[in-house]
Structure 1
Amino acid sequence: MDPSAYKKLTTSRGFTYNYYNKAAEGSKPTLIFLHGFPSSSYDWRHQVAFFQPLGYGLIVPDMLGYAGTDKPTDPHAYIGSGLSADLVDILDAEHVNKVIVVGHDMGSLVASRFVDYHPDRIAALAFLAAAYIPAHTPEDSFALVKLVHEMAGREVFGYQLFMTSEGADKVIAEHFDSAFSLFFPSMPALWVEHMGPMGACEAWIRADKRSPAPAYITEEDKEHYRKVLLAGGFTAPLACYRAMGLVDPKPVPEEAAVINQPVFFAACKKDEICLPAIRHLTMGKRVKGPATIQEFDADHWVYLSHVEEINNALSGWLQGLKV
């Protein structure tokens, strides 16, 4: 990704974002790509290389807490209404009225709040691995975790307890190679034993266990993540997990119970955390617009591991939209 194509913008909340920008050609729509944990705009390099020559507008931010964007450590900075407002500020700065959102992992969570709070700014949404996530109270969250546990027959979200614990940022930084090998596993099934159960993620990292890098992560990629993530630290990136336990002071509008925009969902059959079946619990009653669900024989990192497949799938979906 061309470094000269990056811009800086300080939002109305006072946070400075670093984002890749390419204006659309002619009547082509603009795509905004939202990454999750632990990543940066660099994650979307394969999608930028594919869609930019086709004339699509591109906005690819380092999300709050990462890389060239500000890194507040207060979890309240990461509430959905605030992150959504930041995205609106970026769109306004680039004179983009409506955008097609592509989210992954925690980026899917931000995309979910974006359509909840600002549906008028969104033409369509694509969720990769993690489906639409409805706004919820801590009680709702507990109920969802219980439902997923029952559905899967095992613990699925135990790692989040470690992510929100005191000192997790330092443990991950001190054992970066171990943590990285678990976050980007060569064998997706590692997540069943070492991410899902409570205490397992922390135990793996503190024991400095390692697994080989998957084929889609090169040494150059790993060194990029090492440099970017260690330079910024993990306190800010982990704050987004702590924010999940907060009640947003700005209630989601009642009309957000329905999503009328076209939705694409990439279901990853080997993702042992964002189980494809979860979409029935989160999307089923809300998505009223055209829904396209496509399965990939991939783990959580589908847009890195199955580049050609996901790019072609998104391209075909985009071509069929009337936006």
Structure 2
Amino acid sequence: MFCPLFKNVNVSRGLVYHYYSTPAEAGKPVLLFLHGFPSTSYDWRHQIAFFQDQGYGLIVPDMLGYGGTAKPVDPHFYASSLISRDMVDLLDAENVDEAIVIGHDWGSKIVGRLANYFPERFYAFAFLSLSYFSPAVLESSFVELNNITKQAIGYEIFGYWGFFSADGADQIIENNLDSFFDILFTANRIQTITNFAPLGALQAWLEANSTTETGDFITPAERAIQIDAMRSEGMRAPLCWYEIVTSTIERDDDQGIPQENLTIKKPVFFGAALEDYVCVAAIEITTILQTSENVTTIHQYDSGHWVQLEAKDQVNSDLLTWIEGL
């Protein structure tokens, strides 16, 4: 029987998820790939081609708020416990009892929450750029987090969260999509420190409609696809991923994590991006080592934030070696 690669499924809370799916060859596990902001499953195009050729099963959803998936604009829908349940519903829809989950950016946050809430459904957990997003991170307020990081490294790592959580941010981004894309995928990674992360910097960049050269890991055709998606789908729903961490929604939701699951006990892979100035490699490596009992592999890449695009061949090779060794 013909099995379509793209599917839609209603998860248990009534939301539609759009995802890419291929079955595994005999003896191969299923890989669940979770993207972050402001993207879609398209972020994993290089990994899909590589691991599909290797015979692995794939489930690659557009996460909530993106692509063909539902786009509620109430941030409460984006609580990590709820999205974690959605991911398990996708496994159930594909009759997958246990998988390996791989995430990037906010997708990595959900990888961590799957380890917290549903460790029995996964063989292992892989994080790219952002490591385990511990509930302890949000014990400090948004203001405190920015004060702490500015004192420690000279700028507010999380300053842009405030803009993304503010009323009207979606319209500012949508009115300046080329400028937004340029700074997100900049070839000059140091610009993250000056024009993206600090308080007020990103809004000022966008309102000036500033531009810069983007990295050569994005082709003009890929850029057009991604900008068209942001333009047609809008930015209001994706920004909910930030509203939950600058409000108390995520902090309150995390209270439901079983204490015995706060430390990850199954195998962990972490791919650090050495020139990511938001997900700072030294901080992320320290975090994953402190919160995981079985860190089997840490790799460091000469890459900015988009490590699965910038260092695609090495990331694919390293993930494959790790998976084959589980």
TM range (shorter): over 0.9
User: Structure 2 residue aligned with 1:308, among 313, 317, 322?
Assistant: 313
- State the shift of 1:282 in Å: 2.9
Measured in 1, the distance between the counterparts of 2:321 and 2:152 equals 32
What are the equivalent positions in structure 2 for 1:161-310 lying under 5 Å apart?
161-244=162-245, 245=247, 246=249, 247-248=252-253, 251-280=256-285, 282-310=287-315
- State the shift of 1:140 in Å: 3.1
Unaligned runs of 5+ in 1: none
Measured in 1, the distance between the counterparts of 2:70 and 2:237 equals 9
Q: Which residue of 2 aligns with 1:117?
A: 117
Q: Secondary structure in 2 aligned to 1:258? A: coil
Q: Which residue of 2 aligns with 1:92?
A: 92
- State the shift of 1:23 in Å: 0.7
Q: Which residue of 1 aligns with 2:65?
A: 65
Q: Does 1:9 align with 2:9?
A: yes
Unaligned runs of 5+ in 2: none
Moved over 6 A (4+): none
- What is the CA deviation profile of residues 237-275 of structure 1, one whole-angstrom value per residue up to 9, with x for unaligned ones? 000100123121761111112211111111111111100
Measured in 1, the distance between the counterparts of 2:237 and 2:270 equals 28
- State the shift of 1:306 in Å: 1.2
Q: Secondary structure in 2 aligned to 1:60? A: strand
TM-score (norm 2): 0.94
Structural RMSD (CA): 1.6
Q: Does 1:152 align with 2:157?
A: no
Q: Secondary structure in 2 aligned to 1:107? A: helix
Judged with a 3 Å threshold, the aligned counterparts in structure 2 of structure 1 residues 290 and 199 are, in CA distance, closer, same or farther, namely closer
Measured in 1, the distance between the counterparts of 2:79 and 2:286 equals 22
Judged with a 3 Å threshold, the aligned counterparts in structure 2 of structure 1 residues 212 and 32 are, in CA distance, closer, same or farther, namely same
Q: Secondary structure in 1 aligned to 2:63? A: coil
Q: Secondary structure in 1 aligned to 2:70? A: coil
Q: Retained in 1: the 8 A contact 2:288–2:295?
A: no
TM-score (norm 1): 0.95
- State the shift of 1:53 in Å: 1.2
- State the shift of 1:308 in Å: 0.8
Q: Secondary structure in 2 aligned to 1:37? A: coil
Measured in 2, the distance between the counterparts of 1:243 and 1:222 equals 28
- What is the CA deviation profile of residues 77-132 of structure 1, one whole-angstrom value per residue up to 9, with x for unaligned ones? 00011000000100001011111111000101111111111111111111101111
Measured in 1, the distance between the counterparts of 2:103 and 2:137 equals 22
Measured in 2, the distance between the counterparts of 1:184 and 1:141 equals 28
- State the shift of 1:285 in Å: 2.6
